Amino acid sequence: MGWMQLQAAMYGITQRLRHTLSQSWTRTIATSLAIVLCVLSLNGCDLEDYRVRAATPQLVTGILGPPKTFNAALSQESPNIFTYTYSGLLEANGLTGELEPALAESWEISPDKKRVRFILREGLRWSDGEPLTADDVVFTYQQIYANEAIPTTTRDVLRVGESGTLPEVKKIDDRTVDFLLPEPFSPILRSLGSEILPKHALEASVATLDADGKPAFNSMWDTKTPPSKIIVNGPYRLKDYITGQRVIFERNPYYWRQENPDRAMPYIEEIVWQVVENQDTQLFQFRAGNLSSVGVAPQYFSLLKREEERGDFTIYEDGPALGTTFICFNLNRGKNADGTPLVDPIKSAWFNTLEFRQAVAYGLNRQRSIDNIYRGLGELQDSPISIQSPYYLPPEDGLPTYEHNPDKARDLLQKAGFRYNDSGELFDREGNRVTFSLITNAGNQVREALGAQVKQDLSEIGIEVNFTPIDFNNLVGKLTNSLDWECHLIGFTGGIEPHGGSTIWSVDGRLHSFNQDRSDPPLIDRVVDDWEQEIADLYVQGSREFDEAKRREIYGKTQIVAQENLPFIYLVNPLSMQAVRNNLENIQYSALGGAFWNIHELDFAEE
């Protein structure tokens, strides 16, 4: 039944009711029908589609934007589908952070710490039924992650030592794989949780070059690919993707984990990711009963807490969320091949002046963000390493911080050669008005509110900010391809092991966003500052150290140097909160893993 037919049917029902019911009851029923129509309209589907999908119990969650790729090696977005569709050799427990077996049932590190041997589980299969063997592991690491022609961030975290040499991966037999290291590498185990990809489905695309001389793999498995063509090994496989509307996952019949002999895992048959590009609409959908879970933004906490019992859901909370939120200036002094600079040289000079970045940090009233935007449900963030990590350096142990101090900000600016006019507007020494553009991803209301406050805070120290939220894919394109931006407000996910941040802090890392290199087309005259190289060198040093106390000291230095030079100006870390329907069983919530880290164990309660 289409939308127009549905409207007509509902109208007809209402008219017939008018003949048999009192006027007040008619108004009540008509209002109820209008609400049904509104909900169905927001769902972006007709009634028949809703009935078909409702026939199978589904876990339904909202995502702010459609997926950008179905190719795990090329993904740079979070959340992404691959936490549901792929497994690695190992995985981290979502409660403790401890490493546990996944595709590999066991592993062994040699006495010289230069070889790690993995034994795969017996009988592993891909979602199309083909065997998953050591050949797939070797293919994934040697031909994809180690392939410089494939733009994957995984390669950055696998680089060993100062030379950045990648591990050599060798097949011993169908179930045994060796990772050979040029030197001891302490993060090796946590670096091997990446997705294992199917050789039989992808090998030809790696070997085949397109018209530009690039592997055809780089255009494989985009979001236009039929879901049945996407071969996976995780708890779920893709069932359907309705472009821009929803992703539907179904149980992978060949999933390796089968702990319950009486019932296949995962227990939930289908998961739906509904694209709802606005947090207010996500909240409405959850309160209307259309979503199984919703992230609890601070502005929604009081409302949802009042409805918790009546709505039959639970709000889970576990301290500060992992990851960081920050603003970042484009410090790249490189030029395009035609000699045009990436950043206006006038503004580049401001951004690359340390006192300017320090003044901006002092100018931000982050406590006001906590009070107004986060409703008190957040903490100040001053480090690139998550607070939950044992490598986090707290301010009392020497981490530099920047408390709100507009007078100090103005003083720093004037000492650096900037000046104010009679109206309090800031100009540089050549008389240029100090103004820049700030971008973030549209639809994320917290980031949009933070951006608006950054604009307001910096106006108080004379800086004009042109704040513009933009489409997420457009934002990613600017940050990774064109490099055409001045300042952005985004976040990075976090974890326990700091080496995961090497893709950010390596001067050639693919997420080294404040001074991003680019090979296609190549940049010329890019400059790497001494402090920038120092952080990269410290990450290499930390990866060579196995003594935990010494590792904490090394990564403590990285945090100090980063805060002294402010390539990222950190904002606020919200509390980790999520509302989940009570009909979902076996929820083990944590800031580290969220509500669904053990998705294979979740189940619907019997009615």
Question: 441 with 480: CB under 8 angstroms?
Answer: no
pLDDT tens sequence across 59-69: 999 998 899 99
Which comes out higher in pLDDT, residue 326 or 98? Answer: 326
Q: Does residue 50 have a pLDDT over 90? A: no
For residue 176, the enclosing domain spans 84-206
Please give the structure tokens belonging to residue 89. Answer: 């050799």
Name the residue among 573, 307, 320, 567 with its Cα closest to residue 446.
Answer: 573
Alpha-helix runs per DSSP H in 241-398: 279-287, 298-307, 345-351, 354-363, 366-368
Judge whether 304 lies within some domain: no
Alpha-helix runs per DSSP H in 21-147: 23-43, 47-54, 82-85, 134-138
Distance between CA atoms of 251 and 240, rounded to whole angstroms? 12
User: Which of 348-352, 356-360, 509-513, 560-564 shows the lowest mean pLDDT across its residues?
Assistant: 509-513
Judge whether 251 lies within some domain: no
Determine the pLDDT at residue 286.
95
Distance between CA atoms of 435 and 92, rounded to whole angstroms? 44
Determine the pLDDT at residue 55.
63
Mean pLDDT of the region 488-510: 89
Judge whether 592 lies within some domain: no
DSSP 3-state of 192: helix
How buried is 425 (Cβ within 10 angstroms: 0-12 exposed, 13-18 middle, 19+ buried)? middle
Which comes out higher in pLDDT, residue 56 or 380? Answer: 380
Determine the pLDDT at residue 29.
33
Q: Which one of 158, 173, 206 terminates a domain?
A: 206
Q: Does residue 5 have a pLDDT over 50? A: no
| 344 and 414 part of one domain | yes
Alpha-helix runs per DSSP H in 150-238: 154-158, 199-207
pTM of the model: 0.72
User: Which of 257-266, 287-296, 564-573 shows the lowest mean pLDDT across its residues?
Assistant: 257-266
Contacts of 258 (CB under 8 A, 6+ apart): 264, 265
| 90 and 41 part of one domain | no
482 secondary structure, DSSP code? I
CA neighbours within 13 Å on the CB side: how many for 298?
Answer: 22
| 121 and 42 part of one domain | no
Tell me, what CATH number does 448's domain have? Answer: 3.10.105.10
| 97 and 42 part of one domain | no
Judge whether 300 lies within some domain: no
Question: Is there a cis peptide before residue 266, judged by omega within 30 degrees of 0?
Answer: yes
Q: Does residue 12 have a pLDDT over 50? A: no
Distance between CA atoms of 272 and 249, rounded to whole angstroms? 6
Distance between CA atoms of 117 and 141, rounded to whole angstroms? 14
| 3-class SS letters over 528-574 | CCHHHHHHHHHHHHHHHCCCHHHHHHHHHHHHHHHHHHCCCEECEEE
| 399 and 447 part of one domain | yes
User: Which of 123-132, 188-197, 311-320, 348-357 shows the lowest mean pLDDT across its residues?
Assistant: 188-197
Q: Does residue 33 have a pLDDT over 70? A: no
In single-letter form, the type of residue at position 505 comes to W
Strand partners, 242: 246
Question: 361 with 355: CB under 8 angstroms?
Answer: no
Distance between CA atoms of 494 and 538, rounded to whole angstroms? 19
Determine the pLDDT at residue 298.
86
| 337 and 427 part of one domain | yes
Cα 177 to the center of its chain, rounded Å = 30
Mean pLDDT of the region 403-408: 98
| 417 and 485 part of one domain | yes
| 395 and 518 part of one domain | yes
Helix (H) or strand (E) holding 407: helix 406-415
Q: Does residue 81 have a pLDDT over 90? A: yes
pLDDT tens sequence across 339-387: 999 999 999 999 999 999 999 999 999 999 999 999 999 999 999 998 8
pLDDT tens sequence across 446-469: 899 999 999 999 999 999 999 999
Tell me, what CATH number does 156's domain have? Answer: 3.90.76.10
- What's the mean per-residue pLDDT of the chain? 89
Q: Which one of 165, 189, 206 terminates a domain?
A: 206
pLDDT tens sequence across 464-484: 999 999 998 899 889 988 999
| 566 and 523 part of one domain | yes
Q: Does residue 24 have a pLDDT over 50? A: no
Helix axes 279-287, 445-459, angle to 10 degrees: 140
Judge whether 485 lies within some domain: yes
pLDDT interval class at 297 (50, 70, 90): confident
Which comes out higher in pLDDT, residue 599 or 193? Answer: 599
Determine the pLDDT at residue 36.
37
Contacts of 485 (CB under 8 A, 6+ apart): 330, 437, 439, 478, 479
How buried is 452 (Cβ within 10 angstroms: 0-12 exposed, 13-18 middle, 19+ buried)? middle
User: Which of 5-9, 160-164, 490-494, 584-588 shows the lowest mean pLDDT across its residues?
Assistant: 5-9
Alpha-helix runs per DSSP H in 93-163: 134-138, 154-158
Please give the structure tokens belonging to residue 218. Answer: 């780089």
* N- to C-terminal Cα separation, the chain: 29
Distances (CA, A) of 464 to 277, 363, 442: 29, 13, 21
Distance between CA atoms of 517 and 156, rounded to whole angstroms? 13
DSSP 3-state of 242: strand
Judge whether 445 lies within some domain: yes
| 529 and 387 part of one domain | yes
Distance between CA atoms of 257 and 170, rounded to whole angstroms? 25
Domain count, the chain: 3
Judge whether 464 lies within some domain: yes
Judge whether 318 lies within some domain: no
* Helix%, strand%, coil% for the chain, nearest 5: 35, 20, 45
CA angle 98, 100, 101 (to 5 degrees): 165
| 128 and 9 part of one domain | no
Determine the pLDDT at residue 472.
85
Q: Does residue 324 have a pLDDT over 80? A: yes
| 511 and 371 part of one domain | yes
Question: 498 with 389: CB under 8 angstroms?
Answer: yes
Please give the structure tokens belonging to residue 146. Answer: 């180690």
pLDDT interval class at 130 (50, 70, 90): very high
Determine the pLDDT at residue 65.
86
Determine the pLDDT at residue 27.
36
Determine the pLDDT at residue 4.
33
Share above pLDDT 90 across residues of the chain, in percent, rounded to a whole number: 74
Determine the pLDDT at residue 156.
85
